[in-house]
Structure 1
């Protein structure tokens, strides 16, 4: 049985959206694969690593991964439970128009210079709204295209992305922290506990994480938990139970954090995701 399940959610000819689920059974590097087209991948559940040569990038809900046509890569799954991603493939003229020149390679063939970019909370919400509404069939073609293009612009835009100048060693250290957080997403970590697991001092880890990701470690972890909420809210009947299941101390704590990140309460987001065209 294949470790992948691919659902084609939308295709207008110039823009296609797929939902890709992976069982994550390959703990070590897979055999090399090659992308057939340049596209963007938005993980929304779980975590995996993508390896391009000696470089690697963490694929989690705080990032968009940038795949180039014809470029070889490998993946590994250091965390059990599998993963899920929303994949956006745009026509070359459309992507060239939307992508800032500084993110593209200086060559005739379209390609990105980077493996991944960190996205902000609004982009996370756009990923969830696009996926939920396409899955439910409650969105018109024009609206789906507009929402997808807004997501791409938001994710590639200079105001919301963060490109690090940190050393290779610091980036690998921070990658280990990300894997640790994803392995037990609902745990209420302390800095000392993370430092004990990873090695090094809490102060150094805090400084390294801030440099690599451009935001504090605690906020990064919070956004991962809130992104998991975006995935589960449309199917949740009890928001208090969901809050506790995601590691929040109470429903009010969860609701306040969710509203601060996404501009609406969990219940309001659920209504927008389920009744968009009702």
Structure 2
């Protein structure tokens, strides 16, 4: 079986969307690769590490990754299960227009400064709506293009994103915590458990995580679990079973957390993803 499978979901002069699945069998750094054009990559299942030179970025459902044109990178998979991502390629003139100048090294050929940004819950919903509706053929081309560009704007907007910022030591501590959480999303972790596993006091870990990610560790973990729900719910008819499978104590607990994060119930999201013309930003 190939390590990668790529399904084209949409292709136009403005934007192309691909669903990329990786088996994740490479535990150590892969051979160096290079993107021909700048791509925005939204992981929605699993996790991998992306290495650019001596820096690394944890790629999970809470982030958008920038694969810059002409920039060499490597990937590794410290956890089992592989990963899946929605990859968007935006026409260069349009991406230069959409991206805030502060994020770009240059505007003529859009190249981003950093490797990634943390995205908010609304961007996660847009990723899921776009992918599910394209896969199921429940969205027309014009609406899909508009939804994709809304996702890009949301993901790059200064009010809805967070760029990592901390010392190298704190960044690596937080990365270890992310890898630990991803290794068992359904486990009901305690702060003491996580701190003991990654090496550091609960207080220091709490402070470091808040500084690096801009939100508390427990909310980061909850967003990862809810992102799994966004991924699976379009193909799931037993929401109660899904809730328990994701580690929620009850169907009502899951539904309340889902609605608070995404502004709609799981059933309402499923309908929006599967009903023609219902995918709205």
Q: Secondary structure at the match of 2:185?
A: coil
Runs of 5+ consecutive residues of structure 2 not aligned to the other structure: none
1:53-95 alpha-carbon deviations (Å, 9 max, x no partner): 0000000000000111110000000010010000000110000
- Tell me the CA shift for residue 236 of structure 1: 0.8
Misfit runs of 4+, over 2 Å? 106-110
Q: Secondary structure at the match of 2:58?
A: strand
Is residue 2:42 matched to residue 1:42? yes
Q: Secondary structure at the match of 2:273?
A: helix
- Tell me the CA shift for residue 108 of structure 1: 4.7
Runs of 5+ consecutive residues of structure 1 not aligned to the other structure: none
Q: Distance in 2 between matches of 1:147 and 1:14?
A: 12
Q: Secondary structure at the match of 1:209?
A: helix
* Equivalent residue number for residue 139 of structure 1: 139
Q: Secondary structure at the match of 2:112?
A: coil
Q: Distance in 2 between matches of 1:14 and 1:198?
A: 43
**In 1, are the aligned partners of 2:96 and 2:108 still within 8 Å (CA)?**
no
Scaled by the length of structure 1, the TM-score of the pair is 0.98
Scaled by the length of structure 2, the TM-score of the pair is 0.97
C-alpha RMSD of matched pairs (Å) = 1.0
Is residue 2:7 matched to residue 1:3? no
1:141-199 alpha-carbon deviations (Å, 9 max, x no partner): 11001000000000000000112321111111100100000000110000000011111
Q: Distance in 1 between matches of 2:106 and 2:73?
A: 21
1:27-78 alpha-carbon deviations (Å, 9 max, x no partner): 1100101111101000000000000000000000000001111100000000
Q: Distance in 1 between matches of 2:72 and 2:164?
A: 23
Q: Distance in 1 between matches of 2:108 and 2:90?
A: 17
